[in-house]
Amino acid sequence: MKPAKLHYWVLGWFSMALCGWCTSNKFTQSDNHPHTWKKLYLVHHWPVTVCKMSANDCEHPPEYWTIHGLWPDKTEECNRTWHFNVTEIKDLLSDMRHSWPDVLHSSLNRTQFWKHEWEKHGTCAATLPVLNSQKKYFGKALELYHHIDLNSCLLKAGIKPSSSYYEMTAIKEALTRFYGVTPKIQCLPPEEGEKAQTIGQIEFCLTKELQLRNCTVQNGESKPMPADLKLGTEELSVCSDTLPTYYPSQVQDHK
């Protein structure tokens, strides 16, 4: 093969290879390799605490733990062109409205919360075949939520919304005993003049095989993601083991 022909052949081959990489790389627009996450967080939040953090349309929050999201660690917004389409989850809408409601907005027709969760986290989780569509992503999150059944677990342990305080160590021990792993629990710190923190979020960590694992950072892993819930000046953080813990039943309590 003559040098000129060889030159054009190499360029042509390289161009085809590059285009093939571009079209097959469905999940990202980043220059970095997108699929470096190692675990998932199934995040539950306590709607009463969420409402306490916000002045939005949040007058009658559910008094049961609901889904905040299913988040891969490290990665976010892996494909900004893969837009949310509610028609793809139409079969899930009844369960979504109950188990994964937009706590901050009362309208049952509002889908902005789900759009945010899909575009920020779902497009990254979609690197797993079991989560590689909107219906699979939301459907699997709902399945995991019902399987973990956090609400029943806490009730069985005698931990329920109350005007009394709990010890955080007792909550942790109950969850670890029930699930065999240690979740991550986040709270609102005490307001000025108060002594108790307010429980707000519980995260269960999962392997890529969707098996429960301890929420601890192992060698080579990223640090845990932030709470992903900041409203105004209030923000959740990992709960203190030494502070009394408030598990509120109503928004107006302990203000």
Provide the annotated active-site residues: 68, 117, 121
Handedness of CA 227, 229, 232, 236 (dihedral sign): negative
Pair 216, 182: CB distance under 8 Å: yes
From CA 238, how far away is CA 186, in angstroms rounded?
4
Cα distance from N-terminal residue to C-terminal residue, the chain: 82
- CA-derived radius of gyration, the chain: 22
From CA 165, how far away is CA 197, in angstroms rounded?
9
- Paired with 198 in beta bridges are 188, 246
From CA 120, how far away is CA 71, in angstroms rounded?
9
From CA 19, how far away is CA 147, in angstroms rounded?
42
Give the pairing of strands 244-246 and 197-206. Answer: parallel
From CA 126, how far away is CA 68, in angstroms rounded?
18
Q: Minimal CA–CA distance to 188: which of 106, 151, 243? A: 243
Q: Minimal CA–CA distance to 227: which of 41, 6, 14? A: 41
What single letter denotes the amino acid at residue 129?
Answer: P
